[in-house]
Amino acid sequence: MYDMTFFRKINNAYGSNSKKETTLYEIRDRIARTYTETIDYQPDTIVDGEPMPLIVMEPRGGGDERDRMKKIEAPPESIFRLGSKVDCFGLKWLVVRINYNQEIKLQGDMQLCNYILKWQEDDGAVVEEECVVTRYKTSASGEDASKVVTVDDTRRNVLVQLNERTARLYQGKRFFIDMEGLNNPKVYKLTDLDRTSFVYDGVGFFQLVCTQEMEIGGRDRPDLMLCDYIEQGAPLLLSIGTCGIDGLNTIRQNMSREYVARFFDTGGNEIQMDSVEWEILPPEMLAIDQITVLSQSDNRIELRCAGNASIGGSFTLVAAAKDTEHGKFMAEMNVEIRGVF
């Protein structure tokens, strides 16, 4: 008869309840004892500010991103997370994948952070965040999708760790994304903010899609690499009241609809805000002419839906305004596309 007690005793695995658990314990123990003997062992790596030796390996295959990606393994009982920042080889890396099957050891991939994204928060505080910036790529649909990749030079894909600072980012935020010190560095606006695909149990990273736009003289500071610059010590610009968008949240093919942005002070009295900025997100809705702007003046905008617009699709209409007396306001409305009948 199989003697589990004896088996656990000779393998120093009294806490296990099955042969599988005992075997796993033995494997983890052997890995832990020989962990430092591998040639890929890096004893000086730091994960999220804490020392954690890792095994750092080259990925298989080739490609342009080979030197910017590394496979990593942690010793048994050690943990890194999706979105963790790793100090290795004198560089910063972002953990972009982990293997959740941790019976033996924790494995994952990390990608080189090649840019420091800078922006200001509402109180003027400057934030600098290491991130991964790449060109935006899309694959063609159909049978040959794997063979056709389109690179959009006007957009950048940004991976940034989820933390207290990045959690406050919002669509419409503007950044300089270019080499510092050059003339006319490129400005990009955050047009798509994915806060769900790479977040698990409250940790992970965000994927930002930023679209190139023109620099605004007097507002942007290329010398500081800060867009919409706020003077340090300037009064905090808060919203004193509420705002909303009047109009139906549906629009039909081959039809137009008007929307009105309204602003109210804390007493509920409607106030007039100058220079209301309208935006349609995601920008692809405009790029393929599904939604066009017929007219726009002050706090009103009229949109038209094309006959070939995708029924059941939707877009977000954003209205924003600010002044020194009332502060800044922003309202959003999700609008669904419906058929003619």
Sequential DSSP letters for 38-63: STTEETT-EETTEE--EEEEPPSS-S
CB 113 within 8 A of CB 131: yes
The dihedral through the CA atoms of 181, 164, 199, 92 has a sign that is: positive
Predicted model pTM = 0.63
Alpha-carbon gap, residue 287 to 191, rounded angstroms = 13
At 172, list the tokens: 């419409």
Main-chain phi, psi angles of 325, to 5 degrees: -85, -45
* pLDDT at res. 15: 53
Task: Give the model confidence (pLDDT) of 165-179 as tens digits.
Answer: 999 998 889 999 999
The parts of the chain modelled with pLDDT lower than 50 are 1-2, 6-11, 13-14, 35, 37
Alpha-carbon gap, residue 102 to 261, rounded angstroms = 52
Main-chain phi, psi angles of 290, to 5 degrees: -75, -40
* pLDDT at res. 51: 92
At 6, list the tokens: 């004896």
Alpha-carbon gap, residue 81 to 200, rounded angstroms = 9
Alpha-carbon gap, residue 55 to 198, rounded angstroms = 23
Alpha-carbon gap, residue 293 to 297, rounded angstroms = 11
Tell me the C-alpha to C-alpha distance, in Å, between residue 22 and each of 4, 103, 154, 155: 9, 12, 55, 52
Alpha-carbon gap, residue 54 to 44, rounded angstroms = 8
> What are the b/e assignments for 139-167, b being 16+ CB within 10 Å?
eeeeeeeeeeeeeeeebbbbbbbbeeebe
CB 311 within 8 A of CB 334: no
* pLDDT at res. 218: 83
Characterize the bridge pairing of strands 250-252 and 327-338: parallel
* pLDDT at res. 124: 83
